[in-house]
Copies of this chain bind each other. A is one copy, B any other.
Amino acid sequence: MNPDVVTALGLVAATLTTISFLPQVLRTLRTRDTSSISVGMYAAFVTGVGLWLVYGLLTDDMPIIVANAITFVLSGTVFVLKLRYG
């Protein structure tokens, strides 16, 4: 397959998984309801994304840094809101 198509596929995949937490952030800010969200999921996910960010910084890998910095802020916001609203 054309390498440009494969690279484009990876970029679309990275963009989707990175921005996916935005609708959850907006919904949670609006409703202040986090009752059905798992605190364990966000504890593990935010920690993992934070370690991905450190990994990207140590390996000087810009796509990993950018994607995980955005995801860290978005999923971290959901985690903080979950801790606040329960």
**What is the CA–CA distance of A14 and B36 in the complex, to the nearest angstrom?**
25
Across the interface, A28 reaches (CB within 8 A) one of B18, B36, B42, namely: B36
- Stoichiometry (number of copies): 2
B-chain residues with CB within 8 Å of residue A19 when the two chains form the complex:
44
Q: Is A10 at the interface (CB under 8 A from chain B)?
A: yes
Shortest Cβ gap from A76 to chain B (Å):
13
Q: Interface of A with B (CB < 8 Å)?
A: 1, 6, 9-10, 12-24, 26-28, 31, 33-42, 44-45, 47-49, 51-52, 54-55, 58-59
Q: 7 interchain pairs (CB within 8 A)?
A: A13-B52, A13-B55, A14-B52, A18-B48, A27-B41, A33-B36, A35-B35
